[in-house]
Chain A
Amino acid sequence: MAAETQAATPAAKAGGPNHGLRIFLIWIVLALAADLVLWFVLGPHIPPGRLGSAAQGQQFDNNVMIAMSAPVLVLVLVYFTYAIVVWRRRPGDDADGPPLHGHSRIQALWITVTSVMVLSLAAFGTYELIVPYGAGGGEGPSPIWNPPGAELTAAAQQRPWAPGHVLVVQVIGQQWRFTYRYPGLGGFETTELVLPVNTMIQFDVTSIDVIHSFWAYQLGVKADANPGVDNVAYTKTQHLGRVTVRCAELCGLWHGAMFNYGKVVTVPQFQAWASSTSVALADVTKLLPPYSTTYDPTEIAHLGPVLQKLGLTGAGGGYYPPQDPSQP
């Protein structure tokens, strides 16, 4: 038995199949096919779509990473399948395999290739983060990658907005609603998100109770709403469409029900909506605290009437004890 194996091993080495070449050929064909299909067929449908510039950037990023990781995935799967099929123990063969402890060139190659791939992905990710102004993620109160015309102080944000300029929308998270305040359009606060098309939007996200996360899916925006913190995120609307807004950070009992919808409309439609809403909500706007990048709920004098008027449940709702900071 042992002699047979010894005799068989060198023979296999000399005239046996070239496993490496076989695996390489299977891999290159499958990897190429996978990449072509994934990039050209699946690629345009990869979330989160192209409504916002940030979303489009993320879609591109996802596609690049899919194209880079598919060959890796295919390589490992092909290798394992090949091993399972070819290198299984034959019945009755109780001998050990060849004593192969390592292969320094293969090891060096593996480490080099994975390192290069990983570092280039990190460089690519950094580029894709900085150039599209933070890629739609919350940049905190002092963002460093700003589009031209970004307004970072409460005073500047209250200057009247004109088409073509950056539109500042303040997003206020509270249990369990998002409301939107338009400081450049009179400072009214609404429960519906309406945005003009082809406009750079600056979301200033804050919270008046617990941590929420403002996730405007089709726009590619996600920014945590922290109490007392102004979290800024940018995206540019690219065409008309509907936006789903969900809370992406567990914020209490009705977190699952904390969603609403917004829409991207033409600039004239947006202006018409803004002026009519501004008039309709004029008496509520008077009660609101003066526009600010953050709010201290303990200092909002008229919160109760405002919540009633807007039809919000507010934070209290009887679910939480009275030390809840946002109880009116």
Chain B
Amino acid sequence: MAIETEPGTTQHPGGGQPAGGAARRPWWMRPAIHTGLIGAVIGYAFGHWLGNLIASGYQQVGTSDQNDTAIVLGYLFMVIGWLAGLGVFNDLFKQMAGRRLAEAENGNGPGGLAQYFRFHLDHKVVGIQYLVGMIIYFCTAGLLAMGIRTELLSPVHHVFSSATYIEIVGEHGTMMMMLMTSVILGPFGNYLIPIMIGSKRVAYPRLEALSFWLTPAAFMILLSALLLGGFHMGWTGYPTLSIQDTSGADAYAFAFGLMGISMTLAGFNILVTVICYRAPGMRWSRLPMFVWGILGTAVMMALAAPVLSGGMYMLLTDRTVQTAFFTDQLGGSTYLWEDVFWFFGHPEVYILALPGFGIVCELLPVFTRKPLFGYKVAAAGMIGVTLLSFFVWQHHLFDSGINPDMRPLYMLTTEMISIPTGFIFLVGMGTLWKAKIRFTVPMLFCFAFFFNFLIGGISGVFNSDAPADVTEHGSFFVMAHFHYTIMGGLIFAFMGGCYYWLPKMMGIKLNEKLGYWHFWLMFLGFNSTFMPLFAVGWLGQPRRVFEYALRLQTLNDWVSISSYVLGFSILLFVINFVWSTVVTRVRETGNPWESRGLEWQIPSPPPAYNFEHVPVVLSGPYEYGSEGSEPVADLNPPVGVLAAAFSGSETARAEA
């Protein structure tokens, strides 16, 4: 059935049945993160043994004296063992054996802290798991960036060897680009989307939970590349460099492909949830903008990420069983990789941009106390970006020697995507018109988003122009451009979302004073870090180099020192997060922002199953300032109102 109209069981905050389901085993015998780790170790040992058995005659990699087949099969069985240890397959086998599932579908039962270390089917638990996971991944990759900037303090004196430097660059880029795809969709999308659309659950809780538990595996496998000699081809992994590279490249390809699967699952779940699980009255024209943004993201994830997994699979077979998809002399082509990779890679950067648009559109009306200006324009912009994002990827290949008359076409599509992207500025500026702006921490992050994305977007127009791109391609200019859109857009929006929604998700408000410090240091540090890099790139410094022109040292030093300020501001955020959620724990259970969002109409943190009754949505979420506008939803609809709503043409649906 599409919509659960009545709760299946008695509701208790904390979830599950009072008895807690079947008789419990002691905690260390129940599947959780520690059994997952045991499964992973056993799996890796088995896979490695199997690989050596079936591929013992294959070439050994010089640096590790292992063969790539053994490493890849080790990773494969490690992931299977990890998931089996977490109990992902338990219910599957129970059902196959005809046994009754012990616990309710929406969760593994009441849990306290321990539930966050388990394979858990409640979307709210998965959301928190994602949030903590993403902060850990982001900080790890951010520390690697500090390493890059430290090396670039001097063009002649080196901190790292050239090999270590390239390994750090590759780890930083890959970790950010593969894991940060879910930085907003993971925590906020999974946690808030069902609540915002008035649903008690997501469509596929198992896929959702699986999508999260693949991310720590991908993270650890990517880091394990360092133990195998690292990989030396950056996050784009261009062959033939990635084919000749040391066995760290196996870890790169496996981790990235695995994350592709995670993205596909996460996107598919959100897509179906938004389409099929909206409450009565939640028309498309009443959908919060954040949901629109995440919906577009989910479409791109579901369609683009499988291409990535396919490409990584081809790379792995090239490296292990000597296929030749990408080897020129054997009939393959490096262009195949460039096309496959960027067919994923360009939608990916919009996967990284749209959730930020969504958050900003969601927050602006709350803090300007005005309706969103041009709701339809904003939604059209998100849809336009989603569709166009699949038709621009060859601008990454402008100088690569592709068919030259493709360049005007891709220049056109790339420039065209700035039209729907520009809608976000129209919406933002319209919403600010005669507003009553409340300068809270989340609102400051919204302003910073517009400032950063303006610069990122305008520099993108320079990159899309094929003649100008000849100089900018592969230089620090491009690097500054996408840091402005992704870090300046996505991560600033993520931070705004954290300050805005943590009272909802955890019932705890982050410290405001530290929040202001965090914001100002991050905003100034960010701009001071990346603004000079446009000049550095224009003046001729290519990306991923450890030696550069002496005349560029002043600029590079300025950037490096600013990057430490930026890093310190992120540290402040982590301190604030831990301090507020673990130490002080100032409760905030109401609606601190006086928001009309449906998610704020229920207690914080939301009870199990979110709503006691499926709400009936009465009006749009942004009706600020209208005298006598209806409340956003009726949380206790009179008995029979749902049946009446479903009568007529939708009778069949109500009965289903």
Q: Which residues of A contact B (CB under 8 A)?
A: 19, 46-48, 54-55, 57-58, 61-62, 65, 69, 72-73, 76-77, 79-80, 83-84, 87-90, 93, 95-103, 106-107, 110-111, 114-115, 118-119, 121-122, 125-126, 128-130, 132, 134-145, 205, 209-211, 213, 215, 217, 220-224, 226-229, 231, 233, 244, 246-257, 259, 296, 298, 319-325
From the candidates A89, A102, A224, name the one contacting B436 in the complex (CB within 8 A).
Answer: A89
Cα–Cα distance between A77 and B458 once the two chains are bound (Å): 13
Whether B473 is near chain A, meaning CB under 8 Å from some CB there, is yes
- Residues of chain A within 8 A (CB-CB) of B467 are 54, 57-58, 61, 125, 128-129, 132, 135-137
Cα–Cα distance between A103 and B430 once the two chains are bound (Å): 9
17 A-B pairs with C-beta separation under 8 A = A47-B538, A73-B455, A83-B437, A87-B436, A89-B436, A96-B625, A98-B434, A99-B625, A99-B626, A102-B373, A102-B377, A121-B465, A134-B404, A144-B405, A217-B540, A253-B166, A256-B544
Judging by beta carbons under 8 Å apart, are B234 and A250 in contact?
yes
Q: Nearest Cβ distance between residue B304 and chain A, in whole angstroms?
A: 23
Cα–Cα distance between A205 and B399 once the two chains are bound (Å): 11
Whether B220 is near chain A, meaning CB under 8 Å from some CB there, is no
Judging by beta carbons under 8 Å apart, are A102 and B374 in contact?
yes
From the candidates B162, B371, B471, name the one contacting A100 in the complex (CB within 8 A).
Answer: B371
From the candidates A114, A205, A231, name the one contacting B422 in the complex (CB within 8 A).
Answer: A114
- Residues of chain A within 8 A (CB-CB) of B233 are 250, 252
Judging by beta carbons under 8 Å apart, are A140 and B450 in contact?
no
- Residues of chain B within 8 A (CB-CB) of A98 are 370, 434, 625
The closest CB in chain A to the CB of B421 belongs to A114
Cα–Cα distance between A319 and B163 once the two chains are bound (Å): 9
Cα–Cα distance between A102 and B245 once the two chains are bound (Å): 55
- Residues of chain A within 8 A (CB-CB) of B10 are none
Other than the given A80-B432, A97-B625, A137-B407, 7 more pairs (CB < 8 A) read: A144-B405, A210-B239, A221-B470, A222-B474, A320-B246, A321-B59, A323-B59
The closest CB in chain B to the CB of A89 belongs to B436
Judging by beta carbons under 8 Å apart, are B461 and A121 in contact?
yes
- Residues of chain B within 8 A (CB-CB) of A229 are 328, 401
From the candidates A79, A99, A137, A324, name the one contacting B429 in the complex (CB within 8 A).
Answer: A79
- Residues of chain B within 8 A (CB-CB) of A130 are 408
Q: Nearest Cβ distance between residue A138 and chain B, in whole angstroms?
A: 5
Cα–Cα distance between A233 and B470 once the two chains are bound (Å): 11
From the candidates B438, B469, B626, name the one contacting A137 in the complex (CB within 8 A).
Answer: B469
Judging by beta carbons under 8 Å apart, are B623 and A99 in contact?
yes
Stretch in B40-48, B78-86, B409-417, B521-529 with 4+ CB within 8 Å of A: B409-417
From the candidates A19, A72, A138, A256, name the one contacting B458 in the complex (CB within 8 A).
Answer: A72
- Residues of chain A within 8 A (CB-CB) of B411 are 122, 125-126, 129
The closest CB in chain A to the CB of B477 belongs to A47
Given A96-B369, A325-B240, CB of A256 within 8 Å of CB of B547: yes
From the candidates A62, A80, A246, A325, name the one contacting B244 in the complex (CB within 8 A).
Answer: A325
Q: Nearest Cβ distance between residue A47 and chain B, in whole angstroms?
A: 4
Q: Nearest Cβ distance between residue A31 and chain B, in whole angstroms?
A: 14
Judging by beta carbons under 8 Å apart, are A125 and B415 in contact?
yes
- Residues of chain A within 8 A (CB-CB) of B133 are none
The closest CB in chain B to the CB of A230 belongs to B401
Q: Which chain B residues numbered 387 to 410 have a C-beta less than 8 Å away from chain A? A: 398-405, 407-408
Q: Chain B 228-241, CB within 8 Å of chain A: the 1/0 string?
A: 00001110101111
Cα–Cα distance between A72 and B421 once the two chains are bound (Å): 14
Judging by beta carbons under 8 Å apart, are B418 and A222 in contact?
no
Judging by beta carbons under 8 Å apart, are A125 and B538 in contact?
no
Q: Nearest Cβ distance between residue B301 and chain A, in whole angstroms?
A: 27
The closest CB in chain B to the CB of A251 belongs to B241
- Residues of chain A within 8 A (CB-CB) of B474 are 213, 215, 222, 248-249
Q: How many residues of B contact A (CB 8 A)?
A: 98
Q: Chain B 435-469, CB within 8 Å of chain A: the 1/0 string?
A: 11111000000010011001100100110111111
The closest CB in chain A to the CB of B240 belongs to A210
Cα–Cα distance between A19 and B539 once the two chains are bound (Å): 41
Cα–Cα distance between A220 and B471 once the two chains are bound (Å): 6
Cα–Cα distance between A95 and B246 once the two chains are bound (Å): 63
Judging by beta carbons under 8 Å apart, are A135 and B470 in contact?
yes
Whether B542 is near chain A, meaning CB under 8 Å from some CB there, is yes
Q: Nearest Cβ distance between residue B324 and chain A, in whole angstroms?
A: 12
Given A47-B539, A211-B238, CB of A118 within 8 Å of CB of B418: yes
Judging by beta carbons under 8 Å apart, are B371 and A231 in contact?
no
Whether B61 is near chain A, meaning CB under 8 Å from some CB there, is yes
Whether B329 is near chain A, meaning CB under 8 Å from some CB there, is yes
- Residues of chain B within 8 A (CB-CB) of A138 are 399-401
Q: Which of A65, A224, A231, A298 has the largest count of B CB atoms less than 10 A from its CB?
A: A224
Judging by beta carbons under 8 Å apart, are A322 and B62 in contact?
yes
- Residues of chain A within 8 A (CB-CB) of B232 are 250, 252-253
Cα–Cα distance between A62 and B538 once the two chains are bound (Å): 10
Q: Which chain B residues numbered 122 to 170 have a C-beta less than 8 Å away from chain A? A: 162-163, 165-166
Judging by beta carbons under 8 Å apart, are B454 and A224 in contact?
no
- Residues of chain A within 8 A (CB-CB) of B433 are 19, 83, 87, 100
Judging by beta carbons under 8 Å apart, are A227 and B404 in contact?
no
Cα–Cα distance between A112 and B401 once the two chains are bound (Å): 35
The closest CB in chain A to the CB of B539 belongs to A47
From the candidates B238, B246, B399, name the one contacting A210 in the complex (CB within 8 A).
Answer: B238
The closest CB in chain B to the CB of A254 belongs to B162
Judging by beta carbons under 8 Å apart, are A145 and B238 in contact?
no
The closest CB in chain B to the CB of A2 belongs to B627
Cα–Cα distance between A296 and B61 once the two chains are bound (Å): 24
Cα–Cα distance between A22 and B438 once the two chains are bound (Å): 23
Given A47-B538, A122-B415, A256-B544, CB of A250 within 8 Å of CB of B166: yes
Whether B334 is near chain A, meaning CB under 8 Å from some CB there, is yes
Judging by beta carbons under 8 Å apart, are B404 and A97 in contact?
no
Judging by beta carbons under 8 Å apart, are A210 and B401 in contact?
no
Judging by beta carbons under 8 Å apart, are A255 and B329 in contact?
no
Judging by beta carbons under 8 Å apart, are B450 and A97 in contact?
no
Judging by beta carbons under 8 Å apart, are B162 and A256 in contact?
yes
- Residues of chain A within 8 A (CB-CB) of B236 are 250
Q: Nearest Cβ distance between residue B583 and chain A, in whole angstroms?
A: 31
Cα–Cα distance between A90 and B398 once the two chains are bound (Å): 52
Q: Nearest Cβ distance between residue B638 and chain A, in whole angstroms?
A: 29
The closest CB in chain A to the CB of B541 belongs to A246
Q: Nearest Cβ distance between residue B402 and chain A, in whole angstroms?
A: 6
- Residues of chain A within 8 A (CB-CB) of B401 are 138-141, 205, 223-224, 226, 229, 231
